[in-house]
A and B are shown apart, each in its own frame.
Chain A
Amino acid sequence: MSEHKTTEMLQAEAEKFWQDLEAKKSAGTKLTPKDRTSIPPQEMPSQEPMVRAHNMSEVALGYTETQARVEAERCIQCGGAPCKKGCPVGVPIPEFIACIQNGDFKAAVDTIKQTNLLPAICGRVCPQEKQCQSFCTVGKMMKSPEKAVAIGRLERYVADWERANNKITVPTPAPDTGKKVAVIGSGPAGLTVAADTRRAGHSVTVFEAFQKTGGVMVYGIPEFRLPKAIVSKEVENLKKMGVEFKTSFLVGRTETLEQLLDREGYDAAFIGTGAGLPKFLGIEGENLIGVFSANEYLTRANLMKAYDREHADTPLYDAKRVAVFGGGNVAMDGARMALRLGAEKVYCVYRRTRAEMPARAEEVAHAIEEGVDFHFLENPTKFIGDEKGKLIGVELLNYELGEPDASGRRKPVAIPGTEHVLDIDAAVVALGNESNPLMKQTTPTLEVNKRGNIIVDENQKTNIPRVWAGGDIVLGAATVILAMGEGRRAAASINEYLAGK
């Protein structure tokens, strides 16, 4: 493991590059692409790994101003904007980076917000190395996607700058149209629809089943990766725009979708209820005490604040040896949360290898730095319990990679006879979610596919008139940015429909 660099060290390095750049600029020479690409990528300052593994504060601390300015200078403004094509919502990336190059952070964030309403969040949780940054010309020139311009970190920087300096401009909605929009679910898709439909002058109510707004950004993604204050700020801004929030309101049960449309007078509704039904392994012992879905494990800690043992009433399950199953972001969150909740040993069991992990590269790197022990090419066959039904171990089987499967990844193949036992006292299953059955149960005419995901057309319209849907309930488990993209499309279609009404 390389030595941890403090913010001060990183700032000092950036300062040197900045002075060189300034010297060149004041000498009147324009920076050449070679000048730009010779600047090394600016590393993200972070808390020291062994310290942060025991606290809930954010791990990545964000660029300093100098770092952001230096990193922005690495963009050669190649033309054609390949990065933009890698962005699910088409953020004008070269344009916002040019604003940073000119030192105009406010213009930069406003440029991003033309298409992405939640830059502080996306800057933190988007898998940039698979999206915008994987297309970056600089990364291609350097023959390493890791050396691409750090678009996500720059996005985060300007969004944080705007928030910290109270420069957020709350959009003024168009004059009231007298039309009512119901948004079901307050996750990324729902918040996006709320913002875009409210902007068009409609009266908007967001219904949330939980006691707090933000959906997966609040119950799922931990504080150390996405501070909750950032999510509540976004909600606050929507409230300032006049969006109404109703928490502890489960559409389908508290009132049905039909009642909202026919009785409560909503002209349009958007379903953004998320993936929400955890998958289990279907193996022996999965209902033992100590086996948790990642959703439960994270919800206890995040939403219910169980890590705050002094104040919270929701209990945590004490475990010294925790195994997390899965290779996605949620698995990383679960493993790193386990460390923070006091586990002495945390394993991450994944049936493929690091190269195939769907998690964000930065999260995997952080987990390794913090001491999570990865067991690649292994998969559980059964959970083992004691006489009281408590988990004491898991039997694992070794795997090897075979031919590529439908997902294009090499298919893991079990190696018979390699069963072995890992002693653990808690297991966290992070293998994704199936679609929540609630909307379908309570709205029988709603068309869903065989996996239970709501079927929509290219405008996110469902088969029920006046009802749109988007995000994970349509996509299956996806990302914040994809959910937002769907929300934008749905909102545009809703606005168009309501304008013609």
Chain B
Amino acid sequence: MHKILEKRQLSYDKERDQSVYYFKVEAPEIARNRKAGQFIIFQIDETYGERIPLTIADANAEEGWIAIVFQTVGATTRKFAATFNVGDSVPVLVGPLGKPTHIEKKDGIIVCVGGGIGIAPLHPIVQANHKIGNKVVTIIGARTKELLFFEDEMRAASDELIVVTDDGTYGRKAVVTEPLKELCEKEKVSEIVSIGPAIMMKFCVAAARPFGVPITTSLNTIMIDGTGMCGCCRVKVGNETKFVCVDGPEFNGYEVDFDNMMQRMTAFKDKEREADHKCRVGLDAGKVSA
């Protein structure tokens, strides 16, 4: 069983009524074998729950836990955040899935760019690069101050941390591509790793292109099994159809068809809104009766 050991709310987006939560969960086998860049799939109900992929944000093999960070964007994540507490168990948790990040010693610096919820999956990659002695400059960004998280964790694992917000309420008033470009101009950048919303990754690729710096992006498409069986997560990469779950989740950013990916992610948008609405009504009703 995967007992919840710690639960924290990392941020709250008033405008969209969305929160980001951090759950530390008992999972000794996954903790032992996971590597940077890999993800898990969880369900909050074994029979009727949907399968949600989440990249592992942190782990400790000795203590046998992994950390997951998620945003309450749909019915399942909302229910998970609202009804699961420390001591409860996550009914279904499978992983680690996907290919690990390729980490090797580089001459130049590694720039890690995380936007919004993408900051969480970026964390282990920053850690792993730092650990083998790469010089890591990390850029984290969000729309506004309240939405930032993992600042301390990222600072601890990076040689330099640049924080930006769209509205300038914290750190530098900029989007992540601005400091990224500046670094490419000034420094010898060996690799860029970019994780965040598809549109942000697309712009990071555009920013990197003139400099010819290799850029890795991690895709968060819709999945069901996460083992290559269903093909739901497929996306066009270098004109070939690739499965994010077994061929990825990381791909050469220059080859990813982000427009195709963004379109495919809207496949169930209407349904999600419907379910989200139903869920919120359900949760509110729960509060009243409790």
Contact = CB atoms under 8 A, between A and B. Distances in A.
Contacts of A292: 231-232
Nearest to B236: A287
A315 interface: yes
Interface string B226-244: 0111111011100001010
A15 interface: no
B236 A255 contact: no
Contacts of A296: 224, 230-232
- Which of under 10, 10 to 19, 20 to 34, or 35 or more describes the interface residues of B? 35 or more
Given A313-B76, A436-B229, A305 B96 contact: no
Among B45, B95, B264, B271, the one with the most A-chain Cβ atoms within 10 Å of its Cβ is B271
Interface string A222-253: 00000000000000000000000001111001
Interface in A258-282: 259, 274, 276-278, 280, 282
- Which of under 10, 10 to 19, 20 to 34, or 35 or more describes the interface residues of A? 35 or more
B230 to A, nearest CB: 4
Interface in A353-410: 388-389
Interface stretch (B48-56, B104-112, B137-145, B176-184): B48-56
Contacts of A165: none
Among A287, A300, A316, A388, the one with the most B-chain Cβ atoms within 10 Å of its Cβ is A287
Nearest to B279: A313
A305 B46 CA distance: 11
Contacts of A293: 230-232
A315 B271 contact: yes
Given A287-B241, A295-B229, A254 B267 contact: no
B224 A287 contact: no
Contacts of B235: 287
Interface in B235-283: 235-236, 241, 243, 246, 260, 263-264, 266-268, 271-272, 275
B231 A437 contact: no
Contact of A317 (B47, B246, B267): B267
A304 B51 contact: yes
Contacts of A441: 99, 246
B37 to A, nearest CB: 13
A313 B50 contact: yes
A308 interface: yes
B241 A437 contact: no
Nearest to A434: B228
A250 B224 contact: no
A247 B92 CA distance: 9
A299 interface: yes
A255 B224 contact: no
A254 B246 contact: no
A254 B33 CA distance: 7
A91 B45 CA distance: 40
B33 A253 contact: yes
B30 interface: yes
A285 B222 CA distance: 18
B29 interface: yes
Given A287-B236, A289-B263, A315-B275, A280 B230 contact: no
Contacts of A253: 33, 38, 95-97
29 contacts: A209-B94, A211-B43, A211-B46, A212-B46, A249-B94, A250-B94, A250-B95, A253-B38, A254-B95, A254-B96, A277-B243, A278-B230, A278-B231, A287-B264, A289-B267, A292-B232, A293-B231, A295-B229, A296-B224, A296-B230, A304-B51, A313-B48, A313-B49, A313-B76, A314-B50, A315-B272, A317-B267, A389-B260, A441-B99
Interface of B: 29-30, 33, 38, 43, 45-51, 75-76, 91-97, 99, 224-225, 227-232, 234-236, 241, 243, 246, 260, 263-264, 266-268, 271-272, 275
